[in-house]
A and B are shown apart, each in its own frame.
Chain A
Amino acid sequence: MKKRLFWGLVMSVFTALLLSGCSKNANNKKVTLELFSNKSEAVGTYQKLIKEFEQENPDIEVKLTTPPDAETVMKTRLTKNDIPDMFAMSGNGTFGELARAGVFADFSGNQNLEKVRPVYIDSLEKVVGPTKKGTYGIPYTPNANIVIYNKDRLKELNGTVPQTWNEFVALLKKAKAAKITPIYWTLNEPWTDQSPWNSLEANLVSQNFAKLENEGKTSFVKTHQKVAKKMLTLINYGHSDNFGKGYSDGNTAIGKGDSLFYFQGNWAIPEVLKATPKANIGVFPLPTSNVPGKTKLASAVDIVLTMSVKTKHEKEVKKFINFMMRKENAQTFIDDQLAFSTIKGVDQNNEILSGIKPYFADDRITAVMDSYYPQGMGTASLIQEFLQKKNTNAFLKKLDSEWAKTLDHQ
């Protein structure tokens, strides 16, 4: 009995030594930084840039974490107090919520902010809200809610890129008459209904809406009638299985020319090209008004680079952020991702995106408002339900009551 116990102990000590030997390389004092990203589309690009960065800084190692459903994973990790050193995340409501909870470091006065177009710094501060002063990250890329169109299909209809809402609807009618699917809806994944909603809302509703709604001074019922009405017009021009198809179906369909239009964001372009490398597509912002030139591009901060307030490697993280903010690296990033840059003088010259380039150049941009909504309201699901039931007033009332409820439950 005793002998066995002895050997058991020896074995366990040995195993413990072996395991610790695996996890640490004693000779090498490398600093390991964890970069948490919510963009699975950008893994390749990040890895390319990280490799370059590691060659420049042999004493730093960057570990990229890109889990699916990243925001949820991040929150579950926060509940366990297991916080990554740096984040490359969406500048959305979750970012605002975490910034208010004091998770991120304040970058006010950081020299990188001088390179960034002020509109995005302003938008980021608005997401965080007035209760917490400061700039809790460096906006890196903006996104754009757009209509992707198939150029071949548009040509068949003898159409041109629509400048007004009426022109847009006329094209939808024309396509339907010609037996071409006008819009490829992918509502099996509710989040995809937010692209047209965001474009309409950002153009047709006051930017102060969220603030006033929080104070109880306005309501969806009062302000969103037009938005809801236009959504109902759009849902009439779908295909036979609007609620049965998902994001990847849509990306394939528009590239192959199965439909004329597809509501998405610029982030979908690389995915469309992955499915159909020779896709003949272009983009434009959904025209929301009947005055030509009045429509603005609905845009939000797509990636913000930020740092945990608790990281032990502040110096190294800032080194990495400085590296990412260099013009040539920002250019690599947006070329690879077909994105835009918040940095002045870094332009996206891809032919496909030429339809929205002037909007960035002339600052004809309006901020997407869903990042100001209370987190966890599930707006996308509510819109999805509305598009099935088509009950405008009940839907708008529900948005109001859910808004109040969500605020109350937090």
Chain B
Amino acid sequence: MSRKNVFLVMTIPALLIFLVFHTFPAIQGIFYSFTNWHGYGDWQFVGFKNFINVFKDQQVLDSYLFTFKFAIVATILTNVLSLLIALGLNAKVKFQKTLRALYFIPYILGMLIISFIFSFIFSKVLPDIGQTLHIQWLSSNILGKTSTAWLGIVIVSVWQSTAFNTILYLSGLVTIPGELYEAAGLDGANSWTKFWRITFPMIMPFFTINMVLAMRTFLMAFDQIVALTGGGPGRATESISYVIYKGGFEGGQFAYQSANAVIYFIVIAAISIFQIKVLQKRGEQY
């Protein structure tokens, strides 16, 4: 066997696994979105009925609003925080390695576990503190109020995902050659100018990928919703994935929610492509 063929053979198992576990179910989902299948039992083709209904469904529209509001706020917060932490960890501080390991821990823990812990904090610890200190807004569970429940979800999500983005920023900061800062220093640039004129442009590719990754992850928010609010109070914190899952498996709307999922797939793909295109262009300007 020639060297080339060996490499080809090596890709085949992965290709098969990808086809069986990814492409095939995806095509199946698209197929069922044109039927009225409950998830079991008999079914018929219904054409585009499901797709038309998705656009008329207030619950779906509300979940889009919530998801985007949540994703945008969480993406910005995550990126600001993780860039700050990365800058700090990149500087020559004491216990640098320990701190790096420490900041990475949230990412190792599962979102679900973190959410359950925070759920306990929100429902027991914080109200207790609020009551002892007589702070009105803190003395009841913030997840219980329509106006504040989404903030609880943002806090937990940002707390968990900052870790991963920090690592990416760190690896970006390491690539910046020290001479640039030296030269800038000689020219009399202060730290603020150094950051905006050197650091930020140099890590622009990392900024792009972090924005895209964070946005994509938050748009798919699911675990934290299940564990923290179950979509409530009322339907105030139902993310799109949560609506798809809940309607599809609990509500016997398998086909209808498949249509919702197909539309959502297109939306996410479009956003990711847009982000990469726009942010890359900006990156090239520097």
- Residue positions of A touching B, CB distance < 8 A: 71-72, 75-76, 78-79, 81, 97-98, 101-103, 187-190, 240-246, 249, 375-378, 381-382, 384-386, 388-389, 402, 405-406, 408-410
Please judge, given known A-B contacts A75-B39, A409-B247, whether A384 and B141 are in contact too, CB under 8 Å: no
**A146 to chain B: closest CB distance in Å?**
24
Q: Mark B225-244, 1 if CB is under 8 A from A, else 0.
A: 00000111111100000000
Residues of A within 8 A of B230 (CB): 189-190
Residues of B within 8 A of A249 (CB): 123
Asked if B143 and A244 sit within 8 Å, CB to CB, the answer is: yes
Query: Which 9 pairs between the two chains have the least Cβ-Cβ distance?
Result: A376-B251, A244-B141, A385-B234, A243-B144, A244-B144, A101-B41, A241-B140, A78-B40, A409-B256
Residues of A within 8 A of B256 (CB): 409-410
- The answer to whether B253 has its CB under 8 Å from any CB of chain A is yes
Please report which residues of chain B, range 28-47, place their CB below 8 angstroms from some CB of chain A when the two chains form the complex.
36, 38-41
Asked if B141 and A103 sit within 8 Å, CB to CB, the answer is: no
- The answer to whether B162 has its CB under 8 Å from any CB of chain A is no
CA distance A190 to B141 in the complex (A): 15
Asked if A376 and B252 sit within 8 Å, CB to CB, the answer is: yes
Residue of B nearest to A246 (CB): B123
Residues of A within 8 A of B249 (CB): 72, 75-76, 79
Asked if B123 and A244 sit within 8 Å, CB to CB, the answer is: yes
Report which residue of A101, A243, A375 has the largest number of chain B beta carbons within 10 angstroms of its beta carbon: A243
**A136 to chain B: closest CB distance in Å?**
14
Asked if B141 and A101 sit within 8 Å, CB to CB, the answer is: no
Please judge, given known A-B contacts A78-B39, A187-B233, whether A242 and B144 are in contact too, CB under 8 Å: yes
Asked if B38 and A243 sit within 8 Å, CB to CB, the answer is: no
Asked if A378 and B253 sit within 8 Å, CB to CB, the answer is: no
CA distance A402 to B56 in the complex (A): 12
Asked if A79 and B127 sit within 8 Å, CB to CB, the answer is: no
- The answer to whether B134 has its CB under 8 Å from any CB of chain A is no
Given A101-B41, A388-B233, output 7 extra A-B contacts at Cβ < 8 Å: A97-B38, A188-B141, A189-B230, A244-B127, A245-B123, A375-B252, A376-B252
CA distance A102 to B41 in the complex (A): 7
**A104 to chain B: closest CB distance in Å?**
12
Please report which residues of chain B, range 248-263, place their CB below 8 angstroms from some CB of chain A when the two chains form the complex.
249-254, 256
Please report which residues of chain B, range 127-151, place their CB below 8 angstroms from some CB of chain A when the two chains form the complex.
127, 139-146
Asked if B36 and A410 sit within 8 Å, CB to CB, the answer is: yes
Residue of A nearest to B142 (CB): A244
CA distance A101 to B146 in the complex (A): 37
- The answer to whether B57 has its CB under 8 Å from any CB of chain A is yes
Please judge, given known A-B contacts A376-B246, A406-B251, A409-B253, whether A388 and B41 are in contact too, CB under 8 Å: no
- Residue positions of B touching A, CB distance < 8 A: 36, 38-41, 50, 53, 57, 59, 122-123, 127, 139-146, 230-236, 246-247, 249-254, 256
Residues of B within 8 A of A102 (CB): 41
**B27 to chain A: closest CB distance in Å?**
16
Asked if B39 and A187 sit within 8 Å, CB to CB, the answer is: no
Residues of B within 8 A of A385 (CB): 146, 232-236
19 contacting pairs across A/B (C-beta < 8 A): A75-B250, A97-B252, A187-B233, A188-B232, A190-B230, A240-B139, A243-B233, A244-B123, A244-B140, A245-B123, A376-B247, A378-B246, A385-B233, A388-B145, A389-B146, A406-B251, A406-B253, A409-B256, A410-B253
Residues of A within 8 A of B236 (CB): 385
**B229 to chain A: closest CB distance in Å?**
8
CA distance A408 to B145 in the complex (A): 31
**B232 to chain A: closest CB distance in Å?**
6
Residue of B nearest to A240 (CB): B140
Residue of B nearest to A386 (CB): B234
From B122, B127, B144, give the contact of A187 (CB < 8 A).
Answer: B144
CA distance A101 to B36 in the complex (A): 13
Residues of B within 8 A of A243 (CB): 140-141, 144-145, 233
**B142 to chain A: closest CB distance in Å?**
8
Asked if A378 and B235 sit within 8 Å, CB to CB, the answer is: yes
CA distance A97 to B234 in the complex (A): 24
CA distance A240 to B135 in the complex (A): 13
CA distance A96 to B146 in the complex (A): 33
Residues of B within 8 A of A381 (CB): 231-232, 234-235
Report which residue of B139, B230, B251 has the largest number of chain A beta carbons within 10 angstroms of its beta carbon: B251
CA distance A71 to B57 in the complex (A): 25
CA distance A405 to B141 in the complex (A): 32
**A391 to chain B: closest CB distance in Å?**
11
Residues of B within 8 A of A103 (CB): 40-41
CA distance A388 to B40 in the complex (A): 37
CA distance A114 to B153 in the complex (A): 52
CA distance A249 to B143 in the complex (A): 15
Residue of A nearest to B126 (CB): A244
Residues of B within 8 A of A81 (CB): 40
**A368 to chain B: closest CB distance in Å?**
19
Residues of A within 8 A of B143 (CB): 188, 244
CA distance A101 to B40 in the complex (A): 7
From A71, A79, A241, give the contact of B144 (CB < 8 A).
Answer: A241
CA distance A111 to B38 in the complex (A): 33
Residues of B within 8 A of A72 (CB): 249-250
Please judge, given known A-B contacts A382-B234, A409-B247, whether A79 and B252 are in contact too, CB under 8 Å: no
CA distance A410 to B14 in the complex (A): 37
Residues of A within 8 A of B122 (CB): 244
**B34 to chain A: closest CB distance in Å?**
14
CA distance A103 to B139 in the complex (A): 48
**A9 to chain B: closest CB distance in Å?**
16
Residues of A within 8 A of B145 (CB): 243, 388
CA distance A388 to B148 in the complex (A): 13
**B153 to chain A: closest CB distance in Å?**
14
Residue of B nearest to A75 (CB): B249
Residues of A within 8 A of B57 (CB): 405, 409
Residues of A within 8 A of B41 (CB): 101-103
**B284 to chain A: closest CB distance in Å?**
46
CA distance A189 to B127 in the complex (A): 17
CA distance A406 to B235 in the complex (A): 15
CA distance A187 to B231 in the complex (A): 13
Asked if B254 and A79 sit within 8 Å, CB to CB, the answer is: yes
